[in-house]
Amino acid sequence: METAGTETKEARELWRGQATDADLNRQEGSARALPRAIGRAAIGLGLFGIGLGLAELLAPRRFNRLIGVSDKRRARMARLAGALGAVLGATVAGAYVASRASRRSRARLAGPVRRAITVASTPDAAYRFWRDLGNLPKFMERLESLERLASGRSRWRLRAPAGLALTWEAEIIEDRSAEIIRWQSVTGSDVANRGAVRFRPAPGSQGTEIAVELEYVPPAGALGRLASFLSNEAVEVQLERDLRRLKQLLEVGEIVQSDARIRRERERGERR
Amino acid sequence: MKANCWYGKRDVRVETVPDPQILNRSDAIVRVTSTAICGSDLHLYNGLIPSMQKGDVLGHEFMGEVVEVGPAVKNLKVGDRVVVPFPIACGVCAMCTRELFSLCENSNPNAWMAEKLWGHSPAGLFGYSHLLGGYSGGQAEYARVPFADVGPIKVPEGLRDEQVLFLSDIFPTGYMGAEMCGIKPGDVIAVWGAGPVGQFAIASARLLGAERVIAIDRVPSRLALAATRAGATDTINYEEVDLQDALNDLTGGRGPDACIDAVGTEAHTHGPVYAYDRAKQALMLESDRPIALRQAIRACRNGGTVSVIGVYGGFIDKFPMGAVMNRSLTIRTGQCHVQRYLRPLLERIQAGEIDPSFVITHRLPLNEAPRGFEMFLAKTDNCEKVVLQA
């Protein structure tokens, strides 16, 4: 718990612009150290295992002398152990590489969440759809409501797990037609956040690239414990889902539904 | 309604499930009259495709009668008899406008899952895991068909279900496999796998003008079907002869001009290579057994094309990239863009150039779908293709 608290504090400092580069490096360093060590160990073990196996296969006698085994039975045992080591080592290294091959680079785990999607639409039309804030709950799954306030600000209400909700007020701080909308939350928000959405024409008249960037500080206290849905990973998936739904609205005119939805609803109904 | 549902490895059950509903304005509901078990359904049956959930309705080869249409549907009306393509495609996104329908950007609501595995997401498919949309399949009495104006093709009078059912998948899939070979007069095409898709790849290669087509399998009845009905000029049973030698003999040492892998992830062979791939698969070090693909690459002539229509799900091991690079091979692949082929292939059927029903060996009522899966997997009674009638 203490670690989590420290991290939140560091993130807050980062938020206020008080964190230095050194702080940032320290934070990233600790997050990276463990997987890196596991990776090195796995690869090391793999190489060692392969080496051991190869030595056993290519020059069993000399290898046995080297490791001090002379007795015939022990030599056989050692050969078996070596071969097993090779298999085990290759297995561990193989499993590690397979799990890494589809993962994103570690650099992506720090800093703001970014997602982009290309939509068959003009930058102007896509911008106007987004700028009409009433459209946002249509494609942002977790956004329960968005209320436009007289002050020009907007009040956001986000569905959180266990029937809870997170709310904040946001103001638009940069707004250029068919180009960019940038916003940030005001003080007193459940989730301090800021972000921007950019619209630019895709090359070769392929439509419009819509790129979103989000930064946020998960809430502290009771809400914070529910904040796993606010992990960078989860937010990135949510953002991807939302952008896909936006694309469906702009291209097909409605959100495309899977039969899986009916089943989910039915199962939820049965549990109740 | 009754539907064939997935429950786990080698466990499918016909159950009563709720009827499908119109969920989008461009949906249609089809009363299924004929549906089939696909070789790729066996990958689900064997538990090789991730993100299946208990109770998922299987089946992506189906046809039937339209019984309900959403308010936005213009091209179909109640009573129309249609064949439904297995990829779900919106018809308006960048991929659909390029006729790459199996890559539709709007039809997979779970695109993020596919992106995690493959980098980008293909289209949603009927009855083929949540990774590909979680859509209910057509091994059922009724099925919901999204984008009903884009996918389904109306069947002209006078054609039986069995003649047109395979337009849903295996005929276009085999055809695209042959088309990707870029066949020129005089070409020799080798086809790995004489299952239903392989049969249509062989038949299509002949339709597209291949001089010779070599069928490769280990099941004698399948090789016989390839020779007598699909039009293979030569057959090789790889359990009886050395495959590479046999291919070199048949091609004067050049190798086939193009090789079609109609086998995919669950390839078989004999000896240590098979043991190796089974072991790596068991240890989760590779998800697919690329035995046919390795052989196809090795056999293909210099500068030739390897066309991959067998399904792969994840990672393969010992991929002979050196052969591909140094011998200027071209690899072409993809889930079939069925919508692109419906009209021209229907015309070929109408013209009597091909009767796709030649692959059918078994007809069962929908109730007996589980037995159909068992038979198809074990190839009992020379099972080649099972059609289920609802």
Per-residue pLDDT of B348-372, as tens digits, reads 999 999 999 999 999 999 999 999 9
Nearest CA in chain A to B121: A244
Query: Is the Cβ pair A258, B92 closer than 8 Å?
Result: no
What percent of chain B stands above pLDDT 70?
A: 99
Per-residue pLDDT of B221-233, as tens digits, reads 999 999 999 999 9
B106 touching chain A per CB within 8 A: yes
What percent of chain A stands above pLDDT 70?
A: 60
Instruction: Flag whether pLDDT at A70 surpasses 60.
Output: no
Measure the CA–CA gap between A83 and A50, rounded to whole angstroms. 8
* pLDDT band at A56; cut points 50, 70, 90: very low
Write B74-77 long-range contacts (CB < 8 A, 24+): B74/B149, B75/B148, B75/B149, B76/B28, B76/B148, B76/B149, B76/B152, B76/B154
A vs B, Cβ pairs < 8 A, gives 84
Give the Å distances, CA to CA, from B242 to B222, B224, B248, B262.
19, 19, 10, 19
Enumerate the residues of chain B whose CB falls inside 8 A of the CB of residue A260: 109-110, 130, 133-135
ipTM over 0.85: yes
Cα B141 to its chain centre, rounded Å, is 22
Nearest residue, CB atoms, B21 vs list A237, A248, A262 = A262
Measure the CA–CA gap between B10 and B7, rounded to whole angstroms. 8
B7 touching chain A per CB within 8 A: no
A63-77, A170-184, B7-21, B39-53: the lowest-pLDDT one: A63-77
Short-list B93, B151, B340, CA closest to A252: B93
Measure the CA–CA gap between A46 and A88, rounded to whole angstroms. 8
Write the secondary structure of B306-338 as one string of H (helix), E (strand) and C (coil): EEECCCCCCCCCCCCHHHHHHCCCEEEECCCCH
DSSP code for B362: E
Enumerate the residues of chain B whose CB falls inside 8 A of the CB of residue A248: 106
A78-92, A181-195, B16-30, B313-327: the lowest-pLDDT one: A78-92
Enumerate the residues of chain B whose CB falls inside 8 A of the CB of residue A91: 283, 285
Nearest residue, CB atoms, A252 vs list B90, B111, B286 = B90
Instruction: Flag whether pLDDT at A31 surpasses 50.
Output: no
Enumerate the residues of chain A whose CB falls inside 8 A of the CB of residue B55: 263
B96 touching chain A per CB within 8 A: no
Enumerate the residues of chain B whose CB falls inside 8 A of the CB of residue A206: 94
> Which residues, in sequence order, are bridge partners of residue A147?
A155
A95 touching chain B per CB within 8 A: yes
Per-residue pLDDT of A121-162, as tens digits, reads 999 999 999 999 999 999 999 999 999 998 889 999 999 887
